[in-house]
Amino acid sequence: MPSAIEVHNLTKQFGPLRAVDDLSFEVAAGRVTGFLGPNGSGKTTTLRMLLGLVSITGGTATFGGRRYLELDHPCRHVGAVLEATSFHPSRRAEDHLKSVAVGAGIPITRVAETLELVGLTDVARRRVGKFSLGMRQRLQLATALLGEPEILILDEPSNGLDPQGIQWLRNFIRHQASLGHAVLVSSHLLSEMEETVDDVVIVSQGRLVLQTTLADLAQRAGTHTGLRIRSPELPRLIGILEAIPVGYRQMSPDTLVIDGGTPEWFGPLAAQHQIVLYGLANETGSLEEVFLTLTHGFDAADPGLAAASAGAQTGPGPSGPAPTPGVTP
Amino acid sequence: MIPGVRSEWIKLRTTAVPWVMTGIATLITGLSILLIFLNGASGNGNGNGNSAPAFSIVPQTTQQLRNLVGAGVGSYIFAMLLGTLMVTAEFRHKTVTTSFLVLPRRPQFVAAKLVTAAVVSVGMAVFLLAFTVIGGGIGLAADGGSFSALIRQVPAVAPGMLLVFALFGILGVGVGSLLTNQVAAIIVCLGWFLIVEQIIIGIWHGTSKWLPSGAASAAANVTRGRGMDYGLFSWWEGGLLILAYGLIIAAIGSAIMAQRDIT
């Protein structure tokens, strides 16, 4: 099946800043693709280039081979929910949707249908200025769905939604994929997307870190373990760890995770240096950790190496994969 | 094109902008009507002491009646502001993102607004004409004047007024698409007519016919015939001049907008 969305060597230069750098990935129909990366990693810029809102410095971003500008009825093929999009505060929800439907050549009957779909029928005649953030987000979704598009682009769609709303959104996204639609949904939190996505595209500093399936990412997570330590003497402990050296990540002022460490290895070490411990637990790798390691530990000079060395230490100290001193993790 | 214009009309009528602009224009037109009657009355009081005929205090000559019917013509500036706000409000409220997703070719977006602004501005002019005919007619009838004489002047005044309003709606969209910052655009529009034009005319008297307000006076004169030569263009020359200003500014505005990143 041809890809619904194709991004090839996409680049965006904002003055001296290269926001998106030679980015390539594809989004398949009938699947949910998570577009993941920390804030400021170029996700929003990429999505806006796809939609013709931001000009492209280099490369291409197309839907079935055609740019958004070249689509005959763009709103009937591609629906988008973008951050920083807004509504005229004194316009009623229903009138907003009517203006879009009429402009995009979509039957006006879709207005009531989409309001029903996102659960805003009761407030259809209310002015959008009185809407909560969650209601605005639903109205944005209704706007995107007006043309019954086969491709959906959602930029951080769960912002502002309450837990019920997030659950609703997950079901909604899964349903769209089950209809054979392609869904590209961005987030800076993988944990938020774990239950929703089939594929992941991970970016950092405007570059592709990894495109793979969620299943593959989960496998990486399974092999990635460490030891979580809580101690009031963290600075001293860090000094000891760096002297060995061993990789670690500091999670909070009193907590760090030692890459590949085990209690059998660390217990004697702590006793030897008389370090006070409040907690010590085996860290079973989570997707979120793989994600954080991939995005933070990403060496911009060599994406291949960075992707291969998931689990590399990220704290200050020697570079390279974490040694596992004398123990098998 | 038609869907874009219909969409623009829905967007416009679902905000306060056209109603507020028409409201202010109506208020000012009402004051102009009042002034016409008051001037007539005071002019009579300053007479030579002989008892003046009663009809002299009310507009009575053809030109006076036409001035009364056309009392709202100066409010074309509100048609211009309406056109400007149609564009700047999209940027101010960030609705432009959705608008560009619907109409990704940005010159089309500006073109839809140009057409809509022209049509809505004509609507505003029609409303103001109705207001002056009814308001002025009542005043006239109360002072013993002829209501039907007033109505007979409508065909002479209306074409020029509708033309000027349509053209200034277009000019407004042009200014808005060039200056998308709402506050800046409004300041420039008002500042131009209240200050800049006066200064330019003060320095170079001959330029007044080339300026928008001079061109507006010319264009408003479609059928009224001019009593004296004010050094203005003919009505169609003046109209073309405003249209050219509007379209050139809108073309530059669209070209800049087409390059702009909507982030």
Question: Final residue of a domain: which of A214, A231, A254?
Answer: A214
The CATH code of the domain that includes A25 is: 3.40.50.300
pLDDT for residue A109 is more than 90: yes
Residue B36: predicted pLDDT: 82
Q: Which residue of B has its CA nearest to A89?
A: B93
pLDDT-derived band of residue A303, with 50, 70 and 90 as boundaries? Answer: very low
A176-191 pLDDT, tens digit per residue, is 999 999 999 999 888 8
Residue B49: predicted pLDDT: 41
Examine residue A317 and state whether it is found in any structural domain, yes or no.
Answer: no
Which residues of A are less than 8 Å from B103 in CB distance? 103
Contact map slice: A 79-118 vs B, CB within 8 A: 80, 82, 84-92, 95-96, 98-100, 102-105
Measure the CA–CA gap between A9 and A306, rounded to whole angstroms: 19
Examine residue A179 and state whether it is found in any structural domain, yes or no.
Answer: yes
From the list A14, A82, A95, which residue is nearest B97 (CB)?
Answer: A82
Q: What is the dihedral of CA A65, A66, A68, A69, to 10 degrees?
A: 160
Mean pLDDT confidence for A199-204: 93
Residue A211: predicted pLDDT: 93
Residue A312: predicted pLDDT: 37
Examine residue A314 and state whether it is found in any structural domain, yes or no.
Answer: no
Q: How far is B104 from chain A (nearest CA, A)?
A: 6
A273 or A317, greater pLDDT? A273
Examine residue A123 and state whether it is found in any structural domain, yes or no.
Answer: yes
Residue A309: predicted pLDDT: 39
Residue A317: predicted pLDDT: 36
Asked if B93 and A100 come within 8 Å (Cβ–Cβ), the reply is: no
Which residues of A are less than 8 Å from B256 in CB distance? none
B226-237 pLDDT, tens digit per residue, is 544 567 888 888
Residue B55: predicted pLDDT: 41
Q: What H or E segment, with its residue span, contains residue B183? A: helix B182-191
Tell whether A229 and A185 lie within a shared domain.
Answer: no
Q: What percent of chain B has pLDDT over 70?
A: 89
Q: How far is A75 from chain B (nearest CA, A)?
A: 6
Asked if A51 and B101 come within 8 Å (Cβ–Cβ), the reply is: yes
pLDDT for residue A265 is more than 90: no
Q: Which domain holds residue A291?
A: 223-308
CA-based torsion, B5, B10, B11, B12: positive or negative: positive
Residue A63: predicted pLDDT: 95
B146-167 pLDDT, tens digit per residue, is 888 888 889 988 999 999 999 9
Examine residue A319 and state whether it is found in any structural domain, yes or no.
Answer: no
pLDDT for residue A316 is more than 60: no
Residue A139: predicted pLDDT: 94
Tell whether A139 and A257 lie within a shared domain.
Answer: no
A30-89 pLDDT, tens digit per residue, is 999 999 998 889 999 999 999 999 999 999 999 999 999 999 999 999 999 997 678 999
Q: Is A74 on the interface with B (CB under 8 A)?
A: yes
Q: Domains in chain B: how many in total?
A: 1
Question: Final residue of a domain: which of A158, A187, A214?
Answer: A214
CB pairs under 8 A between A and B: 86
Pairing state of beta strands A255-259 and A207-213?
unpaired
pLDDT-derived band of residue A192, with 50, 70 and 90 as boundaries? Answer: confident
B26-85 pLDDT, tens digit per residue, is 999 999 888 888 776 554 444 444 444 444 456 778 888 888 888 888 899 999 999 999
Asked if A88 and B89 come within 8 Å (Cβ–Cβ), the reply is: yes
Q: Is A53 on the interface with B (CB under 8 A)?
A: yes
Which of B88, B93, B94, B98 best probes binding to A when mutated, by most A CB atoms within 10 angstroms? B98
From the list A53, A105, A143, which residue is nearest B262 (CB)?
Answer: A53
Q: Is B14 on the interface with A (CB under 8 A)?
A: yes
From the list B94, B102, B105, which residue is nearest A84 (CB)?
Answer: B94
Mean pLDDT confidence for B128-156: 87
pLDDT for residue A264 is more than 80: yes
Residue B223: predicted pLDDT: 66
Round the CA-based radius of gyration of chain B to a whole number and report it: 20
B162 — phi, psi (to 5°)?
-60, -40
pLDDT for residue A158 is more than 80: yes
Q: What percent of chain A has pLDDT over 70?
A: 87
pLDDT for residue B24 is more than 90: yes
Q: Domains in chain A: how many in total?
A: 2
Asked if A74 and B105 come within 8 Å (Cβ–Cβ), the reply is: no
Residue A288: predicted pLDDT: 75
Tell whether A243 and A199 lie within a shared domain.
Answer: no
Answer whether 0.90 is exceeded by the pTM: no
Mean pLDDT confidence for B253-260: 92
Asked if B95 and A69 come within 8 Å (Cβ–Cβ), the reply is: no
From the list A55, A74, A98, which residue is nearest B104 (CB)?
Answer: A74
Instruction: Of A87-91, A159-163, A235-239, A324-328, give the lowest mean pLDDT range.
Output: A324-328
SS3 B133: helix
pLDDT for residue A318 is more than 50: no
From the list B102, B105, B261, which residue is nearest A69 (CB)?
Answer: B105
Q: What percent of chain B has pLDDT over 90?
A: 57
Asked if A91 and B100 come within 8 Å (Cβ–Cβ), the reply is: no
Which residues of A are less than 8 Å from B100 in CB distance? 52-53
B71 or A286, greater pLDDT? B71
Q: How far is A299 from chain B (nearest CA, A)?
A: 27
pLDDT for residue B132 is more than 60: yes
> Which tokens in the block code for residue A86?
């807004």
Contact map slice: B 72-111 vs A, CB within 8 A: 89, 93-95, 97-105
CA-based torsion, A307, A312, A315, A317: positive or negative: negative
Mean pLDDT confidence for A138-152: 95
Exposed, middle or buried by CB within 10 Å (0-12, 13-18, 19+), for A158? Answer: buried
Q: Which residue of B has its CA nearest to A78?
A: B101
> Which tokens in the block code for residue A121?
């029928």
Examine residue A87 and state whether it is found in any structural domain, yes or no.
Answer: yes
Residue B224: predicted pLDDT: 57
Residue A222: predicted pLDDT: 66
DSSP character at residue A57: S
Q: Which residue of A has its CA nearest to B109?
A: A103
Q: Which residue of A has its CA nearest to B104?
A: A69
Tell whether A91 and A200 lie within a shared domain.
Answer: yes
Tell whether A52 and A173 lie within a shared domain.
Answer: yes
A316 — phi, psi (to 5°)?
-65, 145
Residue B225: predicted pLDDT: 57
The CATH code of the domain that includes A280 is: 3.30.70
Tell whether A30 and A138 lie within a shared domain.
Answer: yes
Pairing state of beta strands A32-36 and A199-204?
parallel
Residue B229: predicted pLDDT: 52
Mean pLDDT confidence for A9-21: 94
Q: Which domain holds residue B171?
A: 2-259
Mean pLDDT confidence for B223-251: 80
Examine residue A324 and state whether it is found in any structural domain, yes or no.
Answer: no
Which residues of A are less than 8 Å from B102 in CB distance? 74-75, 100, 103-104
**Close Cβ partners of A230 (under 8 Å, ≥ 6 residues apart):** A254, A255, A277, A278, A279, A280
